[in-house]
Copies of this chain bind each other. A is one copy, B any other.
Amino acid sequence: MTMHRFRTFLALAFTALVLTACAATPAPEPATDPLPSWNEGPSKARILDFLDRVTDPDSPDFVPVAERIATFDNDGTLWSEQPIYFQLVFALDRVKAMAPQHPEWADQEPFRSVLAGDMAGLAAQGEAGLVPLLGATHTGMSEAEFRAVAQEWLNTARHPRFDQPYKDMVYQPMLEVLELFRANDFQTWIVSGGGIQFLRAFTEETYGIPPEQVVGTSFVSSYDWRDGDPVLMRQPELDFLDDKEGKPVAINLHIGRRPIAAFGNSDGDLQMLQWTHAGEGPRLAVYIHHTDADREWAYDRGSHIGGLDQGLDQAAQFNWLVVDMARDWSVIYPFQRED
């Protein structure tokens, strides 16, 4: 090769190099599994197929980004709910922590039962026992104070069976679902029977779900003044119960659009799934079925917590996806992962 040809070659090679570099076409990613904690099978395939269809502009099922709304129940759908709802554990722990300031509780129900560790006695009081319990532990303070107390508990209390913080008792496969839906430009909303402000104390850190996408049960809040500053005070009065029929109502109030995907695990989620399913276009209605007594808990019809009875029937009738935890999930909790 002569020198001038070599120079030309060099210049052209450099041009090619620059063209390649600046085309900004990265090498195709190795096909990573977007749901690594889901075993291969019909459940995983159906979720992935749904996402493909609604995000493919050439699909007849394509859904514009603005309408990609997915709603998720929390207790039993995103984290565990056995042996009792975690928020109820929080209330019981608060009674114990507050007891020194309330000597009268020693012989006043339902507090006496709680302080004596008499869960059967508490349960025997039914809802009539829960109301003063929630009132004493969840109201009478500002919204900011309640949040601080809830966060403190979430950072310290541990689940008796797994000896893990409650906020780590979340389902790794569902964390992956949340992430994958957001990667497909979905808004991922929580629509829970749990307390909206209790949820907000951990949903952003734990699920990546910001407070404005959390819907839940609420107490009345009042605008007051304290030390010259406005303050929102939590009142011992139920504002909204976000359960059963309440869920579609709350979805309509907070979101103002019908979800195209919804995940639940109990009859408390039935109306949310019906409402989601009944819309036009592609729909994904999912029940998480608790079938794994070894790694989590197994319960459905007749369970005192998270009962799933009518929901199982309607899931079969309408061909909703029923996820079998034992079969479909290779891992339950993040702390059990081996990677």
> Total interface residues on A, using CB and 8 Å?
47
A143 an interface residue at 8 Å Cβ cutoff?
Answer: yes
Q: Please pick, from B8, B204, B223, B252, the residue contacting A221 in the complex, using a CB distance under 8 A.
A: B252
Which of A48-56, A79-87, A132-140, A206-214 is the contact stretch? Answer: A206-214
Segment 281-325 of A: residues with Cβ below 8 Å from B: none
B14 touches A211 (CB 8 A): no
Chain B residues near A143: list those with CB within 8 A.
252
Q: A11-B15, A15-B11, A15-B18 given as contacts; is B4 within 8 A of A254 (CB)?
A: no
Assess whether A161 is interfacial by the CB under 8 Å rule: no
Verify B4–A256 contact, CB threshold 8 A. Answer: no
Given A19-B18, A221-B249, A230-B278, decide whether A214 and B7 contact each other with a Cβ distance below 8 A. no
User: Chain A 66-88 against B: per-residue CB contact (8 Å), 1 yes, 0 no?
Assistant: 10000000000000000000000
A211 touches B8 (CB 8 A): no
Evaluate contact between A232 and B249: CB separation under 8 angstroms.
yes
A257 at the interface (CB under 8 A from B): yes
For residue A27, CB closer than 8 A to chain B, the reply is no
A249 touches B229 (CB 8 A): no
Known: A232-B249, A239-B253. 5 other contacts (CB 8 A): A18-B19, A22-B22, A212-B255, A218-B253, A221-B252
